[in-house]
Amino acid sequence: MAAFTEFGVLPEIVKAVEEMGWTLPTDVQAEAVPLILGGGDVLMAAETGSGKTGAFSLPVIQIVYETLREKRQGGMKKVSAGLSGWKMNFLDRDPEVAISEDGLLCQCREHRAWQGCRSTQGVAKSGRYYYETVVTDEGLCRVGWATLKAGRELGKDKQSFGFGGTGKKSYGSQFDDYGESFGINDTIGCYLDLNNREISFSKNGKDLGRAFEVPLHLKDLGFFAAVTLKNAEMKFNFGDSPFQYPPKNGFVPLNKADRQYVVSGSTGAAQFDPKKHSPSAIIIEPSRELAQQTNDNIVSFKKYLPPPAIKELLSVGGQPVKEQIAALSMGVDIVTGTPGRLDDLISTNHLDLSQVRFFVLDEADGLLSQGHSELINRIYQQIPKLGWDGKRLQMIVCSATLHSLDVKRLAEKCMHFPMWIDLKGQDSVPETVHHVVVWVDPTKDTSWQGLKHSVVTDGVHRHDKVKPGSQSNETLSESIKLLKAEYTLKAIEEHKMDQALIFCRTKLDCDNLEHYLLSKGGGPKALVNKYSCVCLHSDRAAAQRKANLQAFKDGEVRFLICTDVAARGIDVRGIPFVINVTLPDERVNYVHRIGRVGRAERMGLAISLVATVQEKVWYHSCPSRGKNCNNTRLKSDGGCTIWYNEKQYLADVENHLGESITAVENDIIVPVNEFDGKVVYGEKRGNKGSSYEAHTEQLAPSVQELAVLERLAQTSFLCRRHGKGMY
C-alpha cells in the first residue's frame, strides 16, 4: 500500500483500497494515478481486467473530495482575469479559431470546415441587448446568438440562431432567405429582445426585421454572442467603445447588462454558487452494467473519507428517473451514467454542468461506435473549461485502443495536451488465451436437414423458398443458422464446459439460443441442467439483466448468452471458455470478446463458429430498430436485412492481429499438443519443464560467476583482517 501513498493518494482512500485486497497498483494505475492527481488530461489503453476503472476512479474521488473541502472553506473565486468582462472566449472555441489578446477579434484560416466561438458571458430571462461586429477580411461568416447547449457551428441545431454573409438566416439546420448578403467592412448589428422573445439583425445601420422567435423553453438558458467562420475574420464590440450604429428602442450594449442576468457558469469560467447542486464529476459508461460497476467502486473507495461526505449517483435507464431527479435536486458530487439517461437529464435541465471539474469517458471507442460523439461534444461544450477555483477542467478517456481514428479525433478536439498511457499497443491476443475457428460448411455437413423443426431461427427467410437438398443462397443461409445452434452444443459437450460466455450477433439470436439450450436440459438451474443459461442484452429489463449477470457470477447458471454489450469491461473473472456463435463485424470486438478468458494468469479457450457461405441476417434501419419488424427484404431494396460474410470478417481479424487463427474440425476437438502441451482451461498456467530447464541453463554461467566473485571477496576480506593481527 506504500506505493499508492507515494502516488499522493489520501491515507483514507488507501485504507479502503487495502481492505479490498489490492496489494500493489497495476501498471496502468501506476502510470495514470499520479498524472491525474497532478491535474493532467489522460488517455489510457490497457488490457481488459488491468484495473482501468481504479486508475481513474481513485484520483477522481480524491480530487472531488478536495474540491468539496475547498467549497466548504468559502468557495473563493480565483477565475483568471483573462476571462472577466465581455469578450470572445478562448476556452470555448474550435481549434482553428484564433482570438486576439483583448478577446474582440476572431480569425479562422480553415477553408474546409466551419469553426466557431462563443462569448465569455451571456444574458437571460429579460431585457433587450445589442452587440456589433465588423467583417474585417474576406471569407464566409455567420454571427448571432447561442445557448450553452448549442454546437459551435451556429444555426445548425435548435439551440442557436445565425445570420450569414450569403443573406441566409439559420436555425436547426434550416436556412432561409433573410435581409441581404454582407461582406468585408460591413457592420452587422445583433439584437436580442428577451422581453418579446425576438432576434433580429441590421446591416450598416439598416434594420433587416425580425429573424427569429425564441422558443419559450430557451429563454431562461442564457444567450451568448456567437460566431462561426470559414477562412474569415470578424471584430466584435460589446459596448466598450462607441458603436458605429448605436441601437434604439431600449436596446442596451451587452456590457451594460444588469448583473442579475449575466450567466456566471459559462463554458469559459465558472463561479462558485453554493445554491447550485452541480456535480464535480461526470463519468459516462457505454452500458448499465459498466456504470453499476464503476459506481460500486466509488462507494468502496470513499468508505473511510471524513466529512464532507461525497454523494454519488448512478444514472441509467431502466431505473426510476424521479428518484434520480430527486437526488440531483438535493445535490450530488459524482454522477456515473449511460448516454441516454444523462442526455435526458441534461436536456431537461435537471443535471446542471456549471461546476463540473472532471469529465470521464470510459470505453470511449465503444461510446463512439454506438454513435454518441454528438452527445459527448454537446456535454463537453456545456462544461466550464475553467473552474471557480481557477483550475482547468480535467478530461480522462479510457479506450480499448488508442489507435482508433475516432478516439484520436476526440482527443484533438476536446482534450488539453493529453498524456498517453498505451500499455496495450495494437491489439494482440494474450498468451493465456487459445483461440480457434470451426468452419461451418452446410455443403459438407448436411445434418442441418434434421434440425429444422428443433431449432428456432431469426426468421429472415420466412418469405424465401428454403428447400432441403437445395444449394440456393437462401437455403444455405438458413442451414448455417441451424448448424450453429448444434455446433454450440458440440463445443459444450466436447470440452465439458461448466461455464462460458456465448456471443451472438443480435438480441433475437441470443433469445433463440437461450430457448434452444434450455430445451435440451432439465431446468433453469446449473445443478440439474448442464445447459442452464441466461441472456444479457438491452431488450431485457434492467433488473433482469442485473439478476442474470449475478446468477452467472454465482455459478447458478452455466452460460451467459450476450451481445457485444458484455464484451467491454464487465467484471466476470476466471471464465474458462468463450464461444463466438457469430464473428463480430468490427475486428476490435473480436479481441474484446476473447479477452474475457485467460485473465488472472488462467488459461482460456475461445471457439469461433465461422460460416463458409454468406448468411442473411437482420440489419434494422427502420424507426422501431427491429421491434415488431418483419421486413425481410435486403437493405438495398428498402428492407432490414443484409448478407453477412464471415470469411471476410475472419480475414480482417487475422490481418488486424497479424496471425492466422488455427482451424479445427467440426467435431471441435482441439489437439492436445496444439498449444504446447496439455492444459486445463480455467486453471492457472503452470511452469512447463522444458521452459524451466532452458531458463536454468541460461542462468547457470551467471550463477557460477557470482559464486567465484563471492569467494574472492570473502578471501580478500579475511586476508586484510589477518594482516592487522585480528586472527
Identify the CA nearest to 165 among candidates 209, 135, 205.
135
Indicate the domain borders of the chain.
Answer: 2-74+270-422, 87-261, 433-664, 693-727
668-672 average pLDDT score: 81
Q: What is the mean pLDDT of the chain?
A: 84
Q: Count of CB atoms within 10 A of residue 462's CB?
A: 10
| pLDDT band for position 247 (cuts 50, 70, 90) | very high
CATH T-level assignment (fold) for domain 433-664: Rossmann fold (3.40.50)
The pLDDT assigned to 439 comes to 96
The pLDDT assigned to 365 comes to 86
Most confident of 263-272, 360-369, 610-619: 610-619
155-174 average pLDDT score: 95
662-669 average pLDDT score: 91
397-412 average pLDDT score: 81
Q: Give CATH superfamily name and number for 87-261.
A: SPRY domain (2.60.120.920)
Q: What is d(CA 473, CA 423) in angstroms, rounded to the nearest whole number?
A: 45
| pLDDT band for position 727 (cuts 50, 70, 90) | very low
The pLDDT assigned to 678 comes to 56
Q: What is d(CA 331, CA 304) in angstroms, rounded to the nearest whole number?
A: 21
How much of the chain exceeds pLDDT 70, in percent? 82
Sequence-distant (≥ 6) Cβ neighbours of residue 496 within 8 angstroms: none
CATH of domain 2-74+270-422: 3.40.50.300
Q: Could you check whether 2-74+270-422 and 433-664 share the same CATH topology?
A: yes
Peptide bond into 308 cis (omega under 30): yes
The pLDDT assigned to 708 comes to 67
Phi-psi region of 233 (alpha: psi -120 to 50; beta: other; left: phi over 0): beta
Q: Count of CB atoms within 10 A of residue 671's CB?
A: 9
The pLDDT assigned to 693 comes to 41
| pLDDT band for position 172 (cuts 50, 70, 90) | very high
Name which residue leads in pLDDT, 7 or 524: 7
455-474 average pLDDT score: 82
Given a cut of 50, whether residue 91 has pLDDT beyond it is yes
The pLDDT assigned to 266 comes to 42
Most confident of 261-275, 435-449, 456-470, 515-529: 435-449
Q: How many Cα atoms are found within 13 Å in the side-chain-facing hemisphere of 668?
A: 23
H or E, element range at 293 = helix 288-301
Given a cut of 90, whether residue 428 has pLDDT beyond it is no
86-96 average pLDDT score: 83
pTM (2 decimals)? 0.58
The pLDDT assigned to 225 comes to 95
The pLDDT assigned to 687 comes to 46
65-71 average pLDDT score: 84
The pLDDT assigned to 715 comes to 67
Name which residue leads in pLDDT, 651 or 267: 651
Q: Count of CB atoms within 10 A of residue 336's CB?
A: 29
